[in-house]
Amino acid sequence: MSSTSPKDRLLDTLAKKRVDRPPVICTGGMMNSAIVDVMTKTGHTLPEAHFEAGRMADLAAGIHHETGFENLGIPFCMTVEAEVLGSEVDFGSLACEPKIARELFPSVKSVVYRDISSMLQVGRISQVARAAELLALRHPDQPVIGSLTGPVSTAASLVEPLQFLKELRKERESAHRVLEYVSNFLIGFARVLVDSGATVICIGDPTATGEILGPRMFDEYAVTYLNKVIDGIHATGVPVLVHICGEMKAVKPSIPLLHSDAISADAFVNLKLLKQEYSQLTTMGNLSTILLESGDPEKVIHRTETLLREGIDIISPACGLSTSTSLDTIRAMTDTVKEA
Amino acid sequence: MQNRNLTADDHFKELAEAVVEMDEERAVAAAHASLESGIDAYDAIQQGLSAGMERAGQLFEEEEYFIPELLMCSDAMYAGLEVLKPHLKKTAGSRGTVVIGVIEGDTHDIGKNMVRIMFETGGFNVIDLGRDVPPQRFVDTAIDSNADIIALSTLMTTTMDGMGTVVRLLNEADIRQGIKVMVGGGPISPGFAKRIGADGYAVNAAEAVKVARELVAI
């Protein structure tokens, strides 16, 4: 048995200190592991746990306990931000995660700017914050990860996304203004989570991919505003993880420009090569969620061992888990890391 | 572009370039100019606008263009199309009907919209069910519209199961033979497509049209 607490192990890893072995985590938010198996076993279920701090904390603790992931991750969706900003959210069901039903504005030019400090008082923000507080209190040895939807995705949840993407080119001034606004709001939200006890913040920004934006706009928007949010969180003294969705090829040279303390990548990204090319990066990932869902623990063990051998710094699923993923495969993953 | 000395090819080239250059106003002007020169609207669409869109698709595959650029190209194409459409003498023969949508549970429809645009510009009649669509609706719509293809998209691993469900429902309804199923989207692989019994897989919107053409040609 190792004497290092999971919280210290993660923080040490992010501080580039030597650790006995990589942490194995699942951040929550976009990459949450609120699978049906866990919910039926623990009785803590979605969609109820999206709304109330006690239930949210109980489900997060249940996930931690059942899966073996060495963290507590909240919330379980990517809609807390968009809801507060005013878009319409469909809260889904037990097996189906919440999503934006309708974006509030048709164009970046029509966005109505509201006061950020008053927005931080509404929606589910206080419930997520209270959940972080409960979890930090009840699990002092575990890192509490607060998950944030990244600035580009949040902006694309506020403004109709296709129009938004075009306007990144056509209406640059207004687009930047929206991203500035959204970023300031995200920093505010992250600070509420940090004040409530979040150990680490993870940002997932699925619209900000090289495949969607291309390298030029990835730099102009994704790198700029991710860094703005990261810097704002760093000012509180808390480390930040960033997950980049999709194929990274088109934007690879931009990845080291991100100020985050670790970079998480999708399954088809070769983290070993990324690490070789940019030795300064702390890498996180990237066990295929398709593999996890397919239900073959042997293959999962094999793949996890490969990631460990390759020196990936933090072992984690590569993307959002299917709610029908079985506990067996997840356990195979977390046990393999812990036995390393 | 009021120059009467321009050949038909010049007009086609101007239309195509307006699309590739993402210039809506230029596409509208080029469409008017080609009409004034007596160019057949159908030819202007096919050899001008569609050719431009095809080139844009190529640039997308070569990673010269990305989603925002491709969307703006399609805006220019539609702008030109609006001008030309009322002048179509005959309705262009459709290559086939495609029912498209994003599987239930997923509201990411950027990829699907790109595929729809490429289908439309590629001469298909497209019925877009939007996002978050239950599997049964794909099947019902395909039957009602006598569709040739059902095109399913998802960006989330969490909703991939629904794709298999569509194939299963088609089998159960005993209409699997007449309707081809193609799948695509971030987490989808050719292997997954095969496993669920889909007929086609495309890695992106430009390839989706090529795959669809092959599927209906069989």
Question: CB contact, 8 Å: B157 with chain A?
Answer: yes
d(CA A42, CA A64): 11
* CB atoms B66 and A166 under 8 Å: no
What 3-state DSSP class applies to A219?
helix
Residue of B85 and A146 predicted with greater confidence: A146
Which residue in the block uniquely carries the two structure tokens 């810097």?
A: A231
Quick one: pLDDT at residue A213?
Answer: 93
- The answer to whether B124 faces chain A, any CB pair under 8 Å, is no
Query: Please, how many CA atoms are within 13 Å of residue A212, restricted to the half-sphere of its CB?
Result: 28
Question: In the predicted model, what is the mean pLDDT of chain B?
Answer: 87
Distance (Å) from the C-alpha of residue B136 to the closest C-alpha of chain A? Answer: 17
Locate B89 and state its tokens.
């003498």
C-alpha dihedral (B126, B127, B130, B131), degrees to nearest 10: -80
CB A240 within 8 A of CB A201: yes
According to DSSP, the residues that pair with A278 across neighbouring strands are: none
**Residue B30, both tokens:** 């080029």
- CB-based contact A67:A140 (threshold 8 Å): no
Total residue count of chain A as it appears in this document: 340
Which three-class secondary structure string do you get for A59-117? HHHHHHHHHCCCCEEECCCCCHHHHHHCCEEECCCCCCCCEEEECCECCHHHCCCCCHH
The closest CB to that of A166, out of B71, B104, B105, belongs to B71
Q: Which residue has the higher pLDDT, B45 or A122?
A: A122
Q: Scanning every residue of chain A, which has its alpha carbon at the shortest distance from the alpha carbon of B188?
A: A290
The residue written with tokens 């596409």 in the block is B27
| Residue A145: closest CA among A241, A51, A66 | A241
Neighbours of A270 (CB within 10 A): 13
What span, in angstroms and rounded, lies between the C-alpha atoms of B86 and B101?
A: 28
What distance separates the 2 farthest-apart alpha carbons in chain A?
57
Angle (CA) A102 B71 A169, round 5°: 90
Q: Do B157 and A169 touch (CB under 8 A)?
A: no
Apex A77 CA angle, A267 and B70, nearest 5: 60
> Which residue of B63, B158, B189 is in closest CB contact with A320?
B158
E strand spans, A77-235: 88-90, 99-102, 144-149, 200-204
| Count of Cβ atoms closer than 10 Å to residue B71 Cβ | 23
Residues of B in contact with A212 (CB under 8 A): 66-67, 110
Q: Chain B interface, mutation test: which of A97, A207, A216, most B Cβ atoms within 10 Å?
A: A97
**DSSP 3-state of B201:** strand
Q: From A101, which residue of chain B is nearest by alpha-carbon distance?
A: B107
Banded model confidence at residue B130, pLDDT cuts 50, 70, 90: confident
Distances from the Cα of B56 to the Cαs of A61, A325, B20, in angstroms?
Answer: 49, 39, 6
What is the CB neighbour count within 10 angstroms for residue A2? 10
Q: What is the DSSP letter of B44?
A: I
pLDDT score at B4:
58
d(CA A113, CA B57): 36
Q: How far apart are CA A79 and CA A186, in angstroms?
A: 12
Distance (Å) of CA A13 to CA A2, A25, A166, A227, A313:
15, 12, 39, 20, 7
Per-residue pLDDT of chain A (340 residues; tens, 9 = 90+): 457 999 999 999 999 999 999 999 999 998 899 999 999 999 999 999 999 999 999 999 999 999 999 999 999 999 999 999 999 998 988 888 888 888 899 999 999 999 999 999 999 999 999 999 999 999 999 999 999 999 999 999 999 988 999 999 999 999 999 999 999 999 999 999 999 999 999 999 989 988 889 999 999 999 999 999 999 999 999 999 999 988 888 899 999 999 999 999 999 899 999 999 999 999 999 999 889 988 899 999 999 999 999 999 999 999 888 888 999 999 999 999 999 8
Candidates A269, A277, A283, A230; CA nearest to A16 is A283
Distance from C-alpha of A57 to C-alpha of A89, rounded to nearest angstrom: 21
- Do residues A314 and A242 lie in contact, with contact meaning Cβ atoms separated by under 8 Å? no
The answer to whether B107 touches B158, Cβ cutoff 8 Å, is: no
| Strands B125-128 and B149-153, sheet pairing | unpaired
**What pLDDT score does A234 carry?**
98
Q: Which residue of B has its CA nearest to A100?
A: B107
Q: Do B110 and A250 touch (CB under 8 A)?
A: no
What are the angstrom distances between the C-alpha of A194 and each of A128, A152, A183? 11, 22, 16
pLDDT above 50 for B60: yes
CATH classification of A6-15+27-339, choosing from 3.40.47.10, 3.20.20.210, 3.40.50.800, 3.90.180.10?
Answer: 3.20.20.210
Q: Are A33 and A63 in contact (CB under 8 A)?
A: yes
Q: Does B189 touch chain A (CB under 8 A)?
A: yes
CB contact under 8 A, A169 and B69: yes
DSSP B156: -
Scanning the structure block, which residue is given the tokens 């793949």? A303
What span, in angstroms and rounded, lies between the C-alpha atoms of B64 and B51?
A: 17
Q: In whole angstroms, give the CA distance from residue A266 to residue A118.
A: 36
- What does B129-152 look like in DSSP terms, one character per residue? --SSB-HHHHHHHHHHHT-SEEEE
Which pLDDT value is given to residue A56? 97
Residues of A with a Cβ under 8 Å from any B Cβ are 90, 92, 96-97, 99-101, 161-162, 165-166, 168-170, 206-207, 211-214, 217, 245-246, 250, 289-290, 293, 319-324
In order of their start, the domains of chain B are 8-87 (1.10.1240.10), 97-217 (3.40.50.280)
Q: Which of A130, A151, A117, A143 is nearest to A6 (CA)?
A: A143
Cα angle, residue A275 at apex, residues A269 and A277 outer, rounded to 5°: 100
ipTM associated with this complex: 0.83
Question: What does the pLDDT average to over B131-154?
Answer: 91
- Cross-chain residue pair B156–A169, CB shorter than 8 Å: no
Shortest alpha-carbon distance between residue B149 and chain A (Å): 25
Which chain B residues touch A100 with a CB distance below 8 Å? 107
A202 SS3 class = strand
More confident residue, B92 or A131: A131
Give just the sign of the alpha carbon dihedral A128, A129, A130, A136.
Answer: positive
Residues of B in contact with A293 (CB under 8 A): 157, 160
3-state secondary structure of B43: helix
Query: How far is it, in rounded angstroms, from Cα B71 to Cα B66?
Result: 9
